[in-house]
A = this chain, B = another copy of it.
């Protein structure tokens, strides 16, 4: 098993998938290109797939990710994560309660939690989550059901407050990443900046150099 539990470096460039934003290209190709470009972690997010399709897609991504030593995180679905023996799950505030996800997955798996305000950052401090996703930093069209954005100052404050490794999500791209990373956040999570890029490989490469 790869070294998972100090995620500070592994969170550096975190791809969250979105098939609808992948411009009609196969998600496997997008992920493979992104990994080749330097993505350090991948979250498979499938909100509209049947369970079987979700499982099969996760399995198709695994060889490339394992070869590259890049953890595969499943959005929300502990059953899918268990089915494919993924490296962990990412849960939001309306997903499976953290304690239950931990019980289902066991102590070794990675569990990340989205936090949408300072109170949730504090609450996460009392849980043994492996990282928090600070969401959203900026408002974005990728997710429309998000809380008010943290902004750069809010991100800095959240990072300072958190005892956990942190990743910034929401409006992260080549233009916004440098300032975000200066706050001390361990990494940035991107969706469209890679999934919708003409070359996911070049997009990942560029983001990794910020």
Chain B nearest Cβ from A187, distance in angstroms = 25
Interface residue range, chain A: 10 to 19
What residues of B have a CB within 8 angstroms of the CB of A97 in the complex?
52, 55, 83
A92 (CB) vs chain B CBs: closest residue: B50
**Copy number of this protein in the oligomer?**
2
Contact in complex: A55, B100 (CB < 8 Å): yes
Per-position contact with B for A91-107: 1 when CB-CB < 8 Å, else 0? 10111110010001000
**Contact residues, A39-63 vs B (CB, 8 A):** 50-53, 55
A130 proximal to B (CB < 8 A): no
Q: What does the 1/0 interface line of A181-210 toward B look like (CB < 8 Å)? A: 000000000000000000000000000000
Across the A-B interface, the 3 shortest Cβ-Cβ residue pairs: A79-B79, A50-B94, A78-B79
